Amino acid sequence: MEQDLIKKDNADWFFLAVIIFHIFLELVIYFTPFVEIVPWNMATNLILSESVIWIPALFYFVETKQNPIETCRFRKIRPATVFMTVLFTMLCGPLTTVANAISMLFVENTVLSISGNVLEMPFPVMFLLMAVYGPLVEEVGFRGIIHQGFRSRGNVWKAILLSSFLFAIMHMNVNQAAYAFVLGIMMALLMEATDSIWPSFIMHMCINGFSVVVMFLTNALPAETMEVAMSEAVYSTQELFLVISIYLVLAVICTPLALCVLTWIAGHENRKEALAAILPNRKSSHSKLLTIPIIVGTLICFVMMIINQILV
């Protein structure tokens, strides 16, 4: 049965298809009258940016004849797991902030740079697209197709690391890639702890939703207050080191607590042994995860990250 699943696994080709489709869409947007024909705003941008995942995903499921519900683990979780997932997300915050702040020593905050475009749209539209639509599509693609495909080859820990790495570089900018890698690992661990995609989606939704809410709340402030808030959002190098130092201490405290919560979730979902089994060991399968499609897709992502950084 597992061998049949491996034969059907095209997770690496799916990743390459996502990256190629992304490049193709950017070329269409920049070198055709597309933006003159289609009303262009942040909503259109978000819908199209996620289409580079869900359209290849449709082809993937048609080609492999897999059941999307089963492959992506759309399985019920207990109510208490939902609340503990939110707590887990909060406890992972300091570690994510450290990764974000370190990247800001070298590049600008990408989310902050697009906030103006986001605020031009109604809050319900942006919340639906950024906190629901985007996370659902990305979880199906990366914790669903890619992570589940890699783990079917026998080494769960390597599958967690590689799927998280691909999730990070898929954003094609250094800032988001830095903290997306950390979040990818945490969300993959949630999936392993529950055998369900819903907790990772909830975590993803909480993080994106929080960013959207903060943007709109800040925008609702009086003009003078907002100007001060925006100026304080741009940190000097010295201030960034201070932020890193403070949040690093918090991360040392909160991350072990987050892992304790993860263990509780696994026990509550009767997955404690499964979670413990992902720890690296010498008897783990040495199945091949770095394939030609993964290497090619990774190189393309790095080239795009360099180009995007030069164009900023």
Number of domains the chain contains? 1
Burial of 196-216, coded b for 16+ CB within 10 Å and e otherwise, reads bbbbbbbbbbbbbbebbeebb
In Å, the largest CA–CA distance within the chain is 64
DSSP string covering 224-245: HHHHHHHHHTS--HHHHHHHHH
Low-confidence ranges of the chain (pLDDT < 50): 1-7, 282
The residue segments making up the domain with residue 80 are: 2-311
Please tell me the predicted confidence (pLDDT) of residue 312: 63
Q: Compute how many other C-beta atoms are within 10 angstroms of the C-beta atom of residue 169.
A: 22
Please tell me the predicted confidence (pLDDT) of residue 234: 65
What whole-number distance in Å separates Cα of residue 101 and Cα of residue 109?
9
Please tell me the predicted confidence (pLDDT) of residue 220: 81
What pTM value is reported for the model? 0.91
Please tell me the predicted confidence (pLDDT) of residue 133: 97
Read off the tokens for 194: 């529950």
Hey, what's the torsion of the CAs at 93, 186, 230, 125, to 10 degrees? -120
